A and B are shown apart, each in its own frame.
Chain A
Amino acid sequence: MSREPLLPALLLWTALALLPFAAPAWLLAQLAQYLAYGLLAMSLAYVWGQGGLLSFCQALFFGAGAYAFALAGLGRLPLLPASPGLGLVLAVLVPTALALLLGLLLVGARVATGPAWAVLTLVLGVIAERLAVASPFLGGSNGLAGLPPLALPLPGRTLELLDPLPTYLALLLVAAAVQLGLARAIAAPSGSLLRAVREDPLRAAHLGIDPTRARLRAFTLAAAVAGLGGGLFAAQFGFVAPPLLGLGLSTEVLVWVAVGGRGSPLAALLGAVLVKTVEGLLGEWLGAGWPLALGLLLLLVVLLFPRGIFGGLLARLAGAPDP
């Protein structure tokens, strides 16, 4: 899809902004968590759907953001003060730098397509999780706990993002801003160059586009978004652990995005919320049998909605060409 339709996005964000008037606190807390996951989902939708790079290590950047936030929040970084605000900045910068480095190695080495790319990104996630487990600095398999919450200095007092309502509103604001920003990037001229590279890198190069650079930019931007999500996730829960980096979460986000629709970050975010919600419900109803039911459901969705449940809907609203 070349244009994210604006109206559904604005309607959704407005509705979610009004939700605190009607919803109980536990639901807001739940949704705040899903919105952090939603940032991860949007990042994958961008790099996969727009850039054609199916990354099996997207959680690596989410986790790196979470750990960066934790380390800075706890004051464990040399020369830097303990500061959650700085942590949030680093939650974006560290994954960005990491993605640039890995991207130069992977994308630059022209493995951006084909099986080598899948295997390498998959292995990277596994390695990162193992490293975190083995590293005392990162708290080993227990991870790091007791992180200070994000604090918003308001006139007269400081608002700590501990309670569900401010946490929810903060995540809502960030998710909306990121979604609208990605929609802009997708509609911009450079967005169509990225899609050209996705469609046919060689043809794109013959038009004067540098495929490696376009992919590297997308990979890095997506990592920054995932890292932001990870940082906000850590801030909500006050703790981080190795699974946040690993293959398990990277696979989960793939499912959210496939269900929601990889063509659109908004659809992917909705996919994350939907799958997490269904997961919760199935767990209550079916006990231990829920993964099986979820698997069957996924199979159905992928077969019935190749563009994702929300992706097809949004594409129709945007009047996108049929593939």
Chain B
Amino acid sequence: MPTPLLELRHLVKSFGGVLAVAGASLEVEEGRLLALIGPNGCGKTTLFNLVTGIERPEAGSIRLAGREIGGLPPQARARLGIGRTFQVPGVLAALSVRENLEVAATAAGRPRAEVAHALEQAGLGRFAERAAGTLPHGLQQRLELAMVLLQRPRLLLLDEPTAGLELGESLAVAARLRRLVAAEGIAALVVEHDLAFVRALGAEVAVMLRGRIAARGPYARVAADPDVRAAYLGSRA
């Protein structure tokens, strides 16, 4: 078996008395699209924070392409090819849309010429000179994704990319993601609450429960898992 791109082993992270991530293990292979679902507060965002370096794990290991990265600061992990969007869109609010993309391109060492292309691709050309913070939520998300893609990441971590979007928009995002993963061969881990979106992704699903990855597999099989039904799907359906 080839080395997985991302390999998480028994990660633990607590805040005060709250065990946010409680021994989570997960592998994401090169070119894989994987949805991460789980009830509110089960530790999905914290897991992302551990992978990108905002938080340091108390135990466990984080490997990217076989290399332990748990001790690196976020900027070093970004340069190794981890791109991430935030649950609250992390655009640079006071800067123009164009400058947001310029920042992403410059930081990644990409030529600025790619900015025009990215603007076009994201359909943000009309808003290029607007301050990013003044854009509607959905466009901010689009901008954020465009910035992350300028990094040319090997691993894409998306934290609820469809939060606040209408169904049509969110299905379009799913289609776009599928194309991206197929065309660029990058791996993507997508946190999502919206099960319609997860089905539209057509991806494998990992379920997080109380800080652990409790199940992983095709949507239909995971949805049939009694634990998952009881703890997650049951409570929402």
Contacts and interface: CB of A to CB of B under 8 A. Distances in A.
Interface of A: 2, 189-190, 192-193, 195-196, 199-200, 202-211, 319-323
Interface stretch (B7-15, B78-86, B217-225): B78-86
A195 B99 contact: yes
Given A195-B92, A206-B84, 6 more contacts: A192-B95, A202-B74, A203-B91, A207-B103, A321-B129, A321-B134
Interface in B34-62: 52-54
Interface of B: 52-54, 73-75, 78-79, 83-84, 86, 90-96, 99, 102-104, 106-108, 112, 129-131, 133-134, 147, 151
A206 B158 CA distance: 13
Contacts of B90: 200, 202-203, 206
Given A200-B92, A204-B107, A319 B75 contact: no
25 contacts: A189-B102, A189-B112, A190-B106, A193-B103, A193-B107, A195-B95, A196-B92, A196-B107, A199-B94, A200-B92, A200-B93, A203-B90, A203-B91, A203-B92, A207-B75, A207-B103, A207-B104, A207-B108, A207-B151, A209-B103, A210-B73, A321-B95, A321-B96, A322-B131, A323-B94
A208 B151 contact: yes
Contact of A2 (B99, B104, B130): B99
The 3 closest A-B pairs by CB, nearest first: A321-B131, A205-B74, A208-B78
Contacts of A319: 129
Contact of B95 (A2, A190, A207, A209): A2
A205 B86 CA distance: 13
B203 to A, nearest CB: 23
A161 B136 CA distance: 58
Contacts of A204: 75, 92, 103, 107
A208 B109 CA distance: 10
A205 B53 CA distance: 10
A195 B100 CA distance: 10
Contacts of A202: 54, 74, 90
Nearest to B96: A321
Contacts of A211: 75
A2 B96 contact: yes
A213 B99 CA distance: 20
Contacts of A189: 102, 106, 112
Contacts of B54: 202
